[in-house]
Structure 1
Amino acid sequence: MPKISTNKFILGTVQMGLNYGINNSSGKVSLEDSFEILECAFDNGISILDSAEAYGDAHQVIGAFHKNHPEKTFEIITKLPHHFDAQIKEKVSIYLAELQVPQLYALLFHSYDSYKKNISNFDVLLELKAQNKIKHIGVSVYTNAEIEAVILNDDIEIIQIPFNLLDNNSLRGEILKKAKAKGKTIHTRSAFLQGLFFKDLNSENHTLKQLHKELMELGDIKIKSNCAMSQLALNYCAQQDYIDNVLIGVDSKSQLKENITALNHTISPEIMADLDAIKVKNVDLLNPSLWT
């Protein structure tokens, strides 16, 4: 299998605007470090950023980078908040100004509930698309049932969904292949399950304890594959034919470089099959928003 290009990565920016992640001990990334990460990403072929109004001042950080580096302008995916007052045109104008871009690569509803509640405003999105203010319309979802419902809307072009070593092909493969067959672009997030894969298995973390058996299985497969957990996690997502782009988040330039280097590794069909065989029974454990 040929090496996967870094342009399959989308760089998430939540860490640049908020303290985020179960394994993040350093807090929100500084402006200086954010600029270093963004420059490294652009220089290594990553062309799309993922952001949201809900991500603190991430928009402003991106906009400041673009202002300082106009020759290194990213395409931007951003998301409407979970709850908003239907002033979509005004919001998009604000987003474009904050991000210092003439067009959004994609505007996503931040949740399926938000999508459903605001379906009456969909014509406004189509109008903005016709005006070239947004290129694509999408939805960020969690469950397979939500994907099933969203793919019925021909105007939804991008679906963003969790996918990783545990939230895997055995859970998602069938529905994601169906979405691809409907012409949808598939973006996956939570490749590292908010850093859970890197935590000490003896940790007192409640979620880790409940997933201990599956995480032990992952550890055994990692040893068998003779690769690092980051290589296993990223390539498992990137090697899926039905996944167009893999969203990653980093806390530092060095971490980004590690993730880019991870793509030099290829997971064998045997290891892929071993990973596919892991089945988490309580899927709520795979949703960080439900963690206690």
Structure 2
Amino acid sequence: MEISRITLGTAQLGLNYGIANDKGKPSKTQALKILSKAFDLGINSFDTAYAYGDSEELIGEFIKSKKLYQNAFITSKLPSISKQDIIDEQVSEFVISRAEESSRRLGIPIANYLVHDFSDYRKYKKQIQRASIVLKERRIIEMFGVSLYEPEEAEEIMKDKQIDAVQIPLGIFNQSFLKNGLLERLKRRDVKIFARSIFNQGLIFLNRKQILEKIPAALEWVEKLNNISRETEISVVRLATGFVASIDEIDSLVLGVESEEQLIDSKECVEYRLEKTIVEIISEKFVGIPQRVFDPRFWSANK
């Protein structure tokens, strides 16, 4: 199945998600409308996780209502193993049982199943690999991969033949995966690459007052981005999506929305092609941003 250029992120549909989200998660009716609109717009790829509230159930209900059993590409993720009260010998069975439960919720096999917490991959690599083989044999999953945070993690999985896909944070503020030919090497291995955190969970849309209240260290960089937006007369959202969409190695951009209107706008923005000179300006001006600015894991320490 060909994967759409946009993967609809559904954390917002199952949880209160994102630093700029002041509306909370949408109602079930509104969430189903968003999923339906996405499919109408040609989006067949959806990103969820066992830990995303009722997101998997919502997608499953949508798939059943539209009879999309053969037409939806679903990425889901394994909940953190380290947070469970289990011993090493139980890890493989835990991975299998959680994937089976996610598949049951969705009502279809999982096209792409990712380890959500990379520390689990490091600690339980052999057990997870065994589980992935079993899951593929049982046709519970089709592809297996990992969700990454840092380039060093990509280096660690480079020789793992079980890895079919990765999801990476990539955006104007975080260009760390564009170094050292990482993406090119992954593509040579025929690994599917999904880009997430394109808007830094909405950080790039915050106003000055909101930034000073939440992440003061980001103010300099958000203002620099706003200046480029004014000078080029291109919206921040188009700059952000256009920059990531210009990277040939990216198979699909994971974008979360809170409304049908945002979804329509996101599709238009991804289809908008930035001029090469603007891509180069972004590449040059947003180098060396501290990790505490772009990585949500550090945000609580910024307050």
| Correspondent of 2:58 among 25, 44, 61 | 61
| Correspondent of 1:271 among 266, 278, 295 | 278
Q: How many angstroms does 1:6 deviate by?
A: 9.1
1:11 and 2:8 are equivalent in the alignment: yes
Which residue is 2:73 aligned to?
75
Q: How many angstroms does 1:30 deviate by?
A: 1.2
Letter in 2 for 1:78: S
Structure 2: distance between partners of 1:229 and 1:189: 17
Going from structure 1 to structure 2, the CA distance change for 1:35 and 1:274 (only over 3 Å counts) comes to: same
Q: How many angstroms does 1:149 deviate by?
A: 0.6
Q: How many angstroms does 1:82 deviate by?
A: 1.3
Letter in 1 for 2:298: L
Structure 1: distance between partners of 2:4 and 2:99: 26
Q: How many angstroms does 1:211 deviate by?
A: 1.9
Q: Which has the larger displacement, 8-17 or 200-209?
A: 200-209
Q: How many angstroms does 1:218 deviate by?
A: 1.1
| Correspondent of 1:115 among 121, 136, 151 | 121
Structure 2: distance between partners of 1:289 and 1:75: 28
Which residue is 1:290 aligned to?
298
1:251 and 2:248 are equivalent in the alignment: no
CA contact (8 A) 2:211 2:218 kept: no
Structure 2: distance between partners of 1:188 and 1:267: 17
CA contact (8 A) 1:105 1:136 kept: yes
1:93 and 2:100 are equivalent in the alignment: yes
Structure 1: distance between partners of 2:226 and 2:185: 31
Going from structure 1 to structure 2, the CA distance change for 1:100 and 1:281 (only over 3 Å counts) comes to: same
Q: How many angstroms does 1:32 deviate by?
A: 0.6
CA contact (8 A) 1:221 1:271 kept: no
CA contact (8 A) 1:110 1:140 kept: yes
* Runs of 4 or more above 3 Å deviation: 204-208
Matches within 5 A, 1:125-204: 125-168=132-175, 172-174=178-180, 175-204=182-211
Structure 1: distance between partners of 2:95 and 2:3: 32
- How many residue pairs get aligned? The number is 286
Letter in 2 for 1:120: K
1:228 and 2:226 are equivalent in the alignment: no
Q: How many angstroms does 1:261 deviate by?
A: 1.6
Structure 2: distance between partners of 1:19 and 1:77: 20
TM-score of the two chains, using structure 1 as the length reference: 0.92
Q: How many angstroms does 1:244 deviate by?
A: 1.2
| Correspondent of 1:48 among 36, 45, 61 | 45
**Structure 2 stretches lacking a partner, 5+ long:** none
- Using the aligned pairs only, state the percent identity: 28
TM-score of the two chains, using structure 2 as the length reference: 0.88
Which residue is 1:34 aligned to?
31
Letter in 1 for 2:122: K
Q: How many angstroms does 1:206 deviate by?
A: 5.1
Structure 2: distance between partners of 1:176 and 1:31: 37
CA RMSD in angstroms, aligned pairs only:
1.9
Structure 2: distance between partners of 1:123 and 1:89: 10
